[in-house]
């Protein structure tokens, strides 16, 4: 009997460990490593060095969707929100602590709490843009969905603006926060929303934590190697027009891996001469 109880405890411990370990290192890195905010500052400081030239040069655009005659259009910069401007690592940490996974219901609760922090360097850079008269847009896959107790079809928009206000980003209009499903064709793929902004603005720069914040067609059903090739194609844009914040916790980089992800690990292979 004792042996059975011991085995049961052992199995339970093993299964709990497996679940809670998922994402542990990634969230720890974001929440404790000095290297993480240093990376974020690196991105926003690089942008700050280039932004005045981008504003002054009417031939400058940072969006692949900008195929119109844009030289006379007013300047704008597009940001993703989550893990680009807003730090949701507390939500991710809670999932690790509870041994649970992402669910729209718990995520929506978190959005409603308006307690996301700010990514290092983001608030200062956005304030600089606003002072220079550059229009600031957010294209986010935070999703418009009805919430019990709210009459609004999209309470998430107000939550997000209030959260930004609390962090020191004010003056953001609802029309400048483009959420997923706010309109029927505003889907996870962000290309359509970038094109929508490109019609009326000269898009100077893009900020994101996911390749999909910059390039269309890289979020689903695409091999990791192909994504790397595509990112490499645009190597001149990184750090000049496109600024990416590291996100080891989640993203389309992980979604495109088929299960089990460990099959993608490339270990050491002995050379023929050593065999």
Q: Which position has the token pair 């050593």?
A: 274
Closer residue to Mg ion (CB): 82 or 135: 82
Min CB(269)–Mg ion separation in Å: 35
How far is Cα 147 from Cα 112, in angstroms, rounded to an integer? 10
- Residues 108 and 88: beta-carbon distance below 8 Å: no
CB of 45 to Mg ion, least distance (A): 20
Please say which residue, 159 or 209, places its beta carbon nearer to Mg ion: 209
CB 125 within 8 A of CB 82: no
In this complex, which beta carbon is closest to Mg ion, that of residue 37 or of residue 99?
37
Q: Tell me the C-alpha to C-alpha distance, in Å, between residue 99 and each of 18, 92, 104.
A: 9, 10, 16
Bridge partners (DSSP) listed for residue 91: none
- In whole angstroms, the minimum distance from the beta carbon of 88 to Mg ion comes to 9
Q: Which residue's beta carbon is nearest to the bound Mg ion?
A: 82
The smaller minimum CB distance to Mg ion, of residues 122 and 198, is found at: 122
Closest CA to 223 of 198, 266, 258: 258
- In the complex, the smallest distance separating the C-beta of residue 125 from Mg ion, rounded to whole angstroms, is 16
136/202 with CB nearer Mg ion: 136
- Contact positions vs Mg ion (CB under 5 A): 80, 82-83, 209
Least separation in angstroms between residue 212's CB and Mg ion is: 9
DSSP H or E run through 92: helix 89-98
């Amino acid at each position: 009997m004792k042996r059975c109880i011991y085995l049961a405890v052992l199995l339970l411990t093993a299964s709990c460990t497996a679940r809670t370990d998922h994402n542990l290192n990634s969230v720890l890195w974001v929440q404790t490593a000095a290297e993480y905010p240093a990376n974020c500052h690196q991105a926003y400081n690089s942008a700050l060095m280039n932004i005045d030239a981008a504003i002054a040069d009417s031939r400058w655009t940072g969006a692949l969707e900008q195929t119109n005659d844009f030289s006379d259009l007013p300047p704008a910069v597009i940001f993703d929100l989550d893990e680009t401007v807003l730090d949701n690592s507390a939500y991710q940490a809670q999932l690790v602590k509870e041994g649970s996974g992402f669910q729209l219901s718990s995520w929506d609760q978190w959005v409603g709490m308006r307690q996301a922090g700010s990514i290092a360097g983001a608030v200062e850079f956005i304030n600089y843009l606003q002072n220079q008269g550059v229009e600031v847009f957010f294209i986010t896959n935070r999703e418009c969905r009805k919430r019990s107790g709210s009459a609004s079809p999209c309470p998430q928009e107000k939550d997000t603006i209030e959260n930004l206000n609390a962090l020191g980003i004010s003056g953001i209009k609802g029309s400048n926060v483009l959420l997923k499903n706010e309109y029927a064709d505003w889907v996870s793929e962000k290309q359509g929303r970038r094109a929508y902004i490109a019609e009326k603005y000269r898009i100077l720069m893009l900020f994101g934590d996911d390749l999909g914040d910059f390039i269309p067609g890289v979020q689903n059903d695409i091999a990791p190697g192909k994504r790397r090739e595509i990112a490499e194609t645009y190597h001149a844009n990184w750090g000049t027009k496109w600024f990416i914040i590291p996100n080891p916790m989640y993203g389309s980089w992980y979604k495109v891996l088929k299960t089990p992800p460990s099959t993608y690990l490339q270990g050491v292979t002995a050379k023929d001469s050593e065999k």
